[in-house]
Amino acid sequence: MTVFKTYFKIVKKNIGIIILYTVMLLVFGTMNLKTNKNSFEFVSSKPDIIIVNNSSGVITDNLISYLKKNANVKNITDETDIDDAVFFRDANYVIYIPKDFETKLESGKEVNIDIKTNNSYDSYIASELLTKYLDVFSKYMNLYNDKITAIQKLDNTLNKKSNVVITSETNLNSKTSLFYNFSSYSIMAIVIYIICLVLSSFNDEKISKRTNVSGMNYKTFNNYLYISSFTFTFIIFAIYLILSFAILKSSILNINGLLYSLNMFIFFIVSFTMSILISNLVKSKGAISGVVNVISLGSAFLCGAFIPVKYMPAFALKIAHIFPTFYFIDNNEYIASLQNFDKTAFEFVLKNFIIMILFVMFFLILNSLVTRFKRKVN
């Protein structure tokens, strides 16, 4: 209990840090929620795709032409480069047009088209483009039994334009994800800074002497510190959860909001375990501030908290994948796009949950190894 009280006395002395980063979230994270526009013009999203064509003929040419109008087609042919493009999200979807594509469609048979996907939102758009083309063509082919007529009717159908207006309420989902994306910086900065600062204070000569006099063994003392640190982390999570409900209101009183909250909770746990490891490696109070800035600010920039990842160069995206912040933000962006909560939708979110939990396990194991090594040395 003494350790717990001392822990939160030190937290209280540094409450200004918590207020500072929280105010930054409230100011910058909510700026995008303020707008005078009541509606927004809809601009269709064009996914980045790769087409590997092994067929030839008018149907094949028409399909490729259709895809080029509705997607950004990347000119990549090497299979290794294709795999890299999908992994690093330079391309969302790869379509392998088979050799028998033309003959099978013309004869009314089902065509098996191999694909590769990174399961992003844009990949679903690409999948819908391909499915829509094949379905509409097959219907016209069955109706007219002539590929030229079928293509003409198909073009007329697919080229029809609709004027769509998105109300500000509909657009709120993307703005909500921006709020949570920016929160990654505040969460990581607060949790790492405060926990590292408090734990380094317990290494102070006066406090160390008091601990030694009390007769408390090393393991028990450390467990008290970890429990106190987790309690602090949970309190900040609860505060941020209340703030998010107060700011975003009814826009998160749904399944999306539940997923946002769960995603944020897991990210808090990641930040907690990371801070425990860092506190074990960095003992100097002066160095803590620098470490916090490098990790929290650096990962926020690289992983899309301030600048969307689609504007990031390829080398920056490669680096971003080593930070848990990337998967937190990736989930936020995906949750914002969710309207149908089917198995595939939850699988994508769950995948990023699992990756973040693996980060938690990695930090805990590494911290345990560092602790054992230091005890052997001392």
Q: Which of 29-38, 178-187, 267-276, 309-318 has the highest mean pLDDT?
A: 267-276
- Do 137 and 17 lie in one domain? The reply is no
Q: What percent of the chain has pLDDT over 90?
A: 38
Q: What is the mean pLDDT of residues 195-222?
A: 73
Q: Are 303 and 359 in contact (CB under 8 A)?
A: no
Per-residue model confidence (pLDDT) at position 325: 95
Please indicate, yes or no, if residue 23 is contained in any of the structural domains: yes
Token duo for residue 204: 């102070």
Per-residue model confidence (pLDDT) at position 172: 55
Confidence of residue 98 (pLDDT cuts 50, 70, 90): very high
Instruction: Identify the domain containing residue 71 by its residue range.
Output: 48-163
Q: Are 264 and 180 in contact (CB under 8 A)?
A: yes
Q: What is the mean pLDDT of residues 133-152?
A: 88
- Do 227 and 278 lie in one domain? The reply is yes
Residue 192's nearest CA partner among 305, 264, 296, 262 is 296
- Do 155 and 226 lie in one domain? The reply is no
Residue 170, pLDDT above cutoff 50: no
Please indicate, yes or no, if residue 41 is contained in any of the structural domains: no
Residue 88, pLDDT above cutoff 90: no
- Do 109 and 183 lie in one domain? The reply is no
Angstrom distance (rounded) from CA 63 to CA 106: 13
Per-residue model confidence (pLDDT) at position 65: 92
- Domain boundary (136, 163, 190) is at 163
Q: Radius of gyration (Cα) for the chain, nearest Å?
A: 26
Q: Are 106 and 145 in contact (CB under 8 A)?
A: no
Please indicate, yes or no, if residue 42 is contained in any of the structural domains: no
Count of structural domains within the chain: 2
From residue 157, alpha-carbon distances to 72, 96, 330 in Å are: 21, 24, 35
Q: Is the pTM of this model over 0.85?
A: no
- Domain boundary (106, 129, 163) is at 163
Please indicate, yes or no, if residue 319 is contained in any of the structural domains: yes
Please indicate, yes or no, if residue 219 is contained in any of the structural domains: yes
Per-residue model confidence (pLDDT) at position 39: 45
Lowest mean pLDDT among 146-155, 305-314, 359-368: 305-314
Taking each helix axis as running N to C, give the angle between helix 218-248 and helix 172-201, from 0 to 180 degrees, rounded to the nearest 10.
Answer: 160
- What are 8-60's pLDDT values in tens digits? 999 999 999 999 999 988 888 677 666 544 444 445 678 899 999 999 899 99
- Do 19 and 67 lie in one domain? The reply is no
- What are 209-223's pLDDT values in tens digits? 666 566 667 678 888
- Do 207 and 336 lie in one domain? The reply is yes
Residue 328's nearest CA partner among 259, 277, 240 is 259
Per-residue model confidence (pLDDT) at position 37: 47
Angstrom distance (rounded) from CA 97 to CA 119: 20
Per-residue model confidence (pLDDT) at position 38: 47
- Do 7 and 101 lie in one domain? The reply is no
- Do 239 and 208 lie in one domain? The reply is yes
Per-residue model confidence (pLDDT) at position 111: 87
Residue 220 bridge partners (DSSP):
none
Residue 133, pLDDT above cutoff 80: yes
Residue 362, pLDDT above cutoff 60: yes
- Do 90 and 138 lie in one domain? The reply is yes
Q: Phi, psi (5° rounding) for residue 116?
A: -130, 140
What average pLDDT does the chain have?
85
Q: What percent of the chain has pLDDT over 70?
A: 87
Q: Are 92 and 48 in contact (CB under 8 A)?
A: yes
78 burial level (CB within 10 Å; 0-12, 13-18, 19+): exposed
Please indicate, yes or no, if residue 40 is contained in any of the structural domains: no
CATH number of domain containing 72: 3.40.1710.10
- Do 185 and 303 lie in one domain? The reply is yes
Please indicate, yes or no, if residue 263 is contained in any of the structural domains: yes
Confidence of residue 164 (pLDDT cuts 50, 70, 90): low
Confidence of residue 158 (pLDDT cuts 50, 70, 90): confident
Please indicate, yes or no, if residue 157 is contained in any of the structural domains: yes
- Domain boundary (94, 129, 163) is at 163
Confidence of residue 162 (pLDDT cuts 50, 70, 90): low
State how far Cα 49 lies from the chain centre. 21
- Do 120 and 261 lie in one domain? The reply is no
74's enclosing H/E stretch is: strand 72-74
Per-residue model confidence (pLDDT) at position 43: 52
- Do 130 and 268 lie in one domain? The reply is no
Taking each helix axis as running N to C, give the angle between helix 255-281 and helix 343-377, from 0 to 180 degrees, rounded to the nearest 10.
Answer: 10
Lowest mean pLDDT among 154-168, 189-203, 308-322: 154-168
Residue 276, pLDDT above cutoff 90: yes
296's enclosing H/E stretch is: none
Confidence of residue 314 (pLDDT cuts 50, 70, 90): confident
